Amino acid sequence: MSNVDFSFPIRVYYQDTDAGGVVYHSTYLNFMERARYEWLRELGFNVAALHDIHQALFMVRSLEIEYFRPAVLDDLLHVTVAVNEIGRSRIKLLQTIFCNHVQLVSATVQVVCVGAEKLKPISIPVPLRERIGKFA
């Protein structure tokens, strides 16, 4: 796990798995969403403040994901977030999920900043852009 901006630990619970104790494929998206939320918090921004102060939300625009190995019940995962590109209203992130330094999942997630009222693309708020820009 090198060259990452942020890493967030997540334990695999029973609710995350199928009957065989293997993490269900869509659950990894929840893990990545949680890591992005915590990454924003680490940058000094939380989702409520982005909405209330800047009238801005982030929505997933596109997602490409690859699964290499499965996670299972009780694994301790590390979900990473790394900035790949930043545009006027979009951010391209690279996210990976590791268990014991072994890569399980890799994804490219493109999020777009939208106005909270009309849900149309808007510029990323300047204070957030400046913080994210340090990692791009």
Q: Which residues are catalytic?
A: 18
Could you give the angle at which helices 27-42 and 47-54 cross, rounded to 10 degrees?
60
Q: Is 75 helix (H, G, I), strand (E, B) or coil?
A: coil
**Which of 5, 4, 32 lies closest to 132 in space, CA to CA?**
5
**Which of 10, 11, 8 lies closest to 74 in space, CA to CA?**
11
